[in-house]
Structure 1
């Protein structure tokens, strides 16, 4: 085994024994159980396990810390392997396949939210029947409900994300052509635009004329846009890590999969937002009461 690692005669990389898959599984399990605990805690309920009530927020945060530490340590090992020359052409190709599969799984998450939205919007009468309410009034958006003006803050956020797509592309092209200054400047602008998008959406949520629990419109709106907002935050952190690595000089024109994966993820977030803006903001506001601003 030692000889196979030291002198491989193939393009594949035999990974050294690692504790991170096991520790990550433990962290995910603790986080999942902790999520139930924190929900019971927030509604002043009980969650008895072996005679002890564990309805408290601490288990969730302990699991989250384990998961975050595992991510940091595991990805650090991956970066180290790349610097040691283990990421051959075949390994790099398979890393890209893995990222493509991950983005495909994320697409299916959004398909679920869009499915819920269109099921409720195209068949509002049935949605009201399932929810045991007449609040929809048989129309969509629900009768008497004010909705957000799609050509105010949502349009502003659309422009922000489209601009961020151009800046991350600029950074990518700069990296390919060995322009380190352009790479760093492009990433700084992209991270700044991502943070600006999040702040605008937070402001929009705080001033929305409807709430999550008011109707199925609010539920589908906040689940779809909120899930996307969470991805923007993750993508911003992803790009921020790439910015730190770019400043350290980790990326080269020939080896920069970490940045490439972040750029793919960010473009995916951009495309999803265009669908959200077109369907949930523009199409769904047709004929509805628009909030005054």
Structure 2
């Protein structure tokens, strides 16, 4: 996109029309259709899936590049900056509500539904009279035996990793405010490394759960809520890692200074949100 084509006034910048939303919609359509076809063993599914992934990457690079070019050309005034901050704040609030729904489902299932179905009330007598509820070992009738995931081992290590990544990101932010470019890059590199380590360990945890604990999505209410909560959190860690990689690349090429670095702050807000969600998840899913 040509920045000069945007409309400028003293308060706001209106960019020129962009092709990237349409490209993103096509990419998501190809990803969804390709995944459905691939699951059903249709050969064209994998081609559509790969095409959708390629289009999505092209869109991300192109759209990010346009926004970065607009920012570096100083097209954004103070009003745009406030719009960005409010937009990021509302986005994170929507993510809070997203996870609140899953935590609410976990609470309802664990504290209300499973005890009611396993108790001596009408629901138990009519639906599953032989069902004996015991969280987390027995949370559904006719479910193959499984072993719950404990808090020790990989979950505890991953907790330490995410807390450490929050500290290294704060160090990088401090270095940015002080104009210490080398420390800024060092802090970001360590943060990205810790994020990748977290994802690798979570993949190992999932393999352990499937192969050795017989813990799957079909393992009653516990298995379903465990993989939904930890899986969506892992997806958010992946998104946050991509954001941090972009911030790292921009920092390495000399972008940002002590006064103009909202992109860094937005990525940091998102990453600290991911940290807080993991702490809640570790306590409610693994520990209690």
TM-score, normalised via structure 2 length: 0.84
Q: CA deviation at 1:8?
A: 3.5
Bigger relative contact order, structure 1 or 2 (CA pairs below 8 A, ≥6 apart) = 1
Residue ranges of structure 2 left out of the alignment (5+ in a row):
139-144
Q: Which residue of 2 aligns with 1:286?
A: none
- Cα distance, 1:136–1:116 mapped onto 2, change above 3 Å: farther
- 1:51-92: CA deviations, max 9, x gaps? xx7862222332232222112101100000011111211111
Q: Which residue of 2 aligns with 1:168?
A: 169
**Whole-angstrom distance in 2 between the partners of 1:69 and 1:7:** 26
Q: Which residue of 1 aligns with 2:133?
A: 138
Q: Which residue of 2 aligns with 1:15?
A: 15
Report the 3-state secondary structure (helix = DSSP H, G, I; strand = E; otherwise coil) of the residue aligned with 2:164. Answer: helix
Report the 3-state secondary structure (helix = DSSP H, G, I; strand = E; otherwise coil) of the residue aligned with 1:183. Answer: helix
- Cα distance, 1:37–1:214 mapped onto 2, change above 3 Å: same
Q: Which residue of 1 aligns with 2:186?
A: 185
8 Å CA contact retained: 1:5, 1:14: no
Report the 3-state secondary structure (helix = DSSP H, G, I; strand = E; otherwise coil) of the residue aligned with 2:198. Answer: helix
TM-score, normalised via structure 1 length: 0.83
Q: Structure 2 residue aligned with 1:124, among 89, 105, 114? A: 114
Q: CA deviation at 1:148?
A: 2.3
Residue ranges of structure 1 left out of the alignment (5+ in a row):
42-52, 284-293
**Whole-angstrom distance in 1 between the partners of 2:129 and 2:187:** 50
Q: Which residue of 1 aligns with 2:235?
A: 230
**Whole-angstrom distance in 1 between the partners of 2:150 and 2:220:** 18
Q: Which residue of 1 aligns with 2:259?
A: 254
Q: CA deviation at 1:133?
A: 6.8
> Cα RMSD between the aligned structures?
2.6
Number of positions where the alignment pairs a residue of Structure 1 with one of Structure 2: 269
